[in-house]
Structure 1
Amino acid sequence: MQGTAVKERAAKDNIRRRFDQNQRDCMFTIMSLLPELSEQVLREVDVERLIAELRAINKQPVVDSQSVSEKSETREGSSTDGATERSTSESGVNEDSASRATDVAGPDANHLLDDNSEPAKRTKVDIWEDIKIQSFTRTLIAVYTESLLTMLVHVQLNMIGRSTYLDSVIGKYTGETGDQINLEGRYESFLSIADEQNFLMLSWWFLNRGWRTLMTRVSRATEHCIGQLSLKERLSHRELTSLFNNIHIKLREDGLVQLLPKILLPFGDACIDDYLSANRLTSSQVFTPVFVRLLDQLRDVIESSDFLYVFNCSIDRLTLQLLETLQESFPESVPAPTPSGPLLPTVEGESAPDLDNVVKEFEVYSASSESRVVVVQLLPRIAREGHQILNGVPNQYLENVSASREIQALSAAVYTAENAPI
Structure 2
Amino acid sequence: MINSTRRWLRRNQTNFAVGLGVLGAAYLAGQYALSKIAEARQRMSEDRVAKENLRRRFQQNQEDCTITVLALLPTATENVLEAWPVEHITQDLQQKKAERLGRSAGTLDASSAVPSSGPSSATDDDGRSLASFQSGSYVHTSQMAASDSVTGEAAPPRPARSKAQLWNDLKITSITRAFTLLYTLSLLTLLTRIQLNLLGRRNYLASVVSMASHSPQDPTIGLENLDDDGVEQTYGNDFETNRKFLTFSWWLLHRGWREVTDKVEIAVKTVFGPLNPREDLPLEKLSALILEVRRKVEGATADERRSHKWLPYLLPPRNQEELVLRESGMLKSPSKSQPTAIPSPPSSPTAESPCSSSSSTAPLRRLLDETADLIDSPPFTQILTLLLDTTFSHLTDHEIRTDAYRLPDPGHMPRVQEIPDLDANLAKAKLAAILAVVTKQAHAIGNGVPNKYAQAIEGVKELEAFAAVIYSSQFEFEALGDARTELAKEPTGRTEAVGGKEGAGVMGAATDMFENVWGKVTGS
* TM-score class normalised by the smaller sequence: 0.7 to 0.9
Q: Is the 8 A contact 1:174 1:180 kept in 2?
A: no
2:257 equivalent to 1:211: yes
- How far residue 229 of structure 1 moved from its aligned partner, in angstroms, is 1.2
Between the aligned partners of 1:154 and 1:207, the Cα distance in structure 2 is 15
Q: 2:442 aligns with which of 386, 393, 408?
A: 386
Secondary structure of 2:426's match? coil
Q: 1:279 aligns with which of 324, 328, 338?
A: 328
Q: 1:246 aligns with which of 292, 303, 315?
A: 292
The one of the two structures with greater contact order (alpha-carbon pairs below 8 A, sep at least 6) is 1
Partner of 1:292: 365
Q: Is the 8 A contact 1:389 1:395 kept in 2?
A: yes
- How far residue 275 of structure 1 moved from its aligned partner, in angstroms, is 2.1
Between the aligned partners of 1:120 and 1:262, the Cα distance in structure 2 is 34
- How far residue 221 of structure 1 moved from its aligned partner, in angstroms, is 0.8
CA offsets 1:359-417 (integer angstroms, 9 cap, x no match): xxxxxxxx996011111221110111122111110001101113311210111010111
Secondary structure of 1:235's match? strand
Q: 1:228 aligns with which of 249, 274, 277?
A: 274
Q: Is the 8 A contact 2:69 2:192 kept in 1?
A: yes
CA spacing shift, 1:299–1:373, aligned 2, 3 Å: same
2:205 equivalent to 1:166: yes
- How far residue 10 of structure 1 moved from its aligned partner, in angstroms, is 0.4
CA spacing shift, 1:369–1:39, aligned 2, 3 Å: closer
Q: Which runs of 5+ in 1 are unaligned?
A: 70-117, 182-186, 334-366
Q: Is the 8 A contact 2:309 2:376 kept in 1?
A: no
Q: Which runs of 5+ in 2 are unaligned?
A: 1-39, 112-156, 221-232, 335-341, 343-352, 409-422, 483-524
- How far residue 274 of structure 1 moved from its aligned partner, in angstroms, is 3.0
Between the aligned partners of 1:228 and 1:15, the Cα distance in structure 2 is 55
Q: Is the 8 A contact 2:186 2:384 kept in 1?
A: yes
Give the number of equivalent residue pairs.
335
- How far residue 3 of structure 1 moved from its aligned partner, in angstroms, is 1.1
Q: 2:316 aligns with which of 266, 271, 274?
A: 266
CA offsets 1:196-223 (integer angstroms, 9 cap, x no match): 1101111011111111110111111111
Q: 2:180 aligns with which of 141, 145, 165?
A: 141
Partner of 1:200: 246
Secondary structure of 1:250's match? helix
Q: Is the 8 A contact 1:232 1:375 kept in 2?
A: yes
CA spacing shift, 1:30–1:305, aligned 2, 3 Å: same
Between the aligned partners of 1:233 and 1:309, the Cα distance in structure 2 is 35
- How far residue 177 of structure 1 moved from its aligned partner, in angstroms, is 4.6
Q: Is the 8 A contact 2:383 2:462 kept in 1?
A: yes
Between the aligned partners of 1:152 and 1:119, the Cα distance in structure 2 is 37
Between the aligned partners of 2:57 and 2:443, the Cα distance in structure 1 is 33
- How far residue 173 of structure 1 moved from its aligned partner, in angstroms, is 2.5
Q: 1:330 aligns with which of 405, 411, 414?
A: 405
CA spacing shift, 1:216–1:368, aligned 2, 3 Å: closer
CA spacing shift, 1:65–1:53, aligned 2, 3 Å: closer
Q: Is the 8 A contact 1:301 1:307 kept in 2?
A: yes
Between the aligned partners of 2:167 and 2:478, the Cα distance in structure 1 is 54
Q: Is the 8 A contact 2:282 2:425 kept in 1?
A: no
Q: Is the 8 A contact 2:241 2:364 kept in 1?
A: yes
Q: 1:320 aligns with which of 393, 397, 415?
A: 393
Q: 2:58 aligns with which of 19, 26, 43?
A: 19
CA RMSD of aligned residues (A): 2.8
- How far residue 231 of structure 1 moved from its aligned partner, in angstroms, is 1.9
Between the aligned partners of 2:163 and 2:80, the Cα distance in structure 1 is 24
Secondary structure of 1:373's match? strand
Structural mapping, 1:23-422, within 5 Å: 23-60=62-99, 61-62=102-103, 64-65=106-107, 121-177=160-216, 188-253=234-299, 258-269=308-319, 271-280=320-329, 281=331, 282=334, 284-286=353-355, 288-324=361-397, 325-328=399-402, 329-332=404-407, 370-418=426-474, 419-420=477-478
- How far residue 144 of structure 1 moved from its aligned partner, in angstroms, is 0.5
Between the aligned partners of 2:71 and 2:312, the Cα distance in structure 1 is 23
CA spacing shift, 1:44–1:37, aligned 2, 3 Å: same
- How far residue 278 of structure 1 moved from its aligned partner, in angstroms, is 2.1
Between the aligned partners of 1:68 and 1:232, the Cα distance in structure 2 is 32
Q: Is the 8 A contact 1:156 1:298 kept in 2?
A: yes
Between the aligned partners of 1:120 and 1:5, the Cα distance in structure 2 is 74
- How far residue 151 of structure 1 moved from its aligned partner, in angstroms, is 0.5
Say which is worse superposed, 188-197 or 51-60, in terms of deviation. Answer: 188-197
Partner of 1:8: 47
TM-score by length of 2: 0.60
Between the aligned partners of 1:416 and 1:237, the Cα distance in structure 2 is 43
Between the aligned partners of 1:212 and 1:170, the Cα distance in structure 2 is 43
CA spacing shift, 1:230–1:171, aligned 2, 3 Å: same
CA spacing shift, 1:293–1:180, aligned 2, 3 Å: farther
- How far residue 238 of structure 1 moved from its aligned partner, in angstroms, is 0.3
- How far residue 316 of structure 1 moved from its aligned partner, in angstroms, is 0.6
The sequence identity of aligned pairs, in percent, is: 30
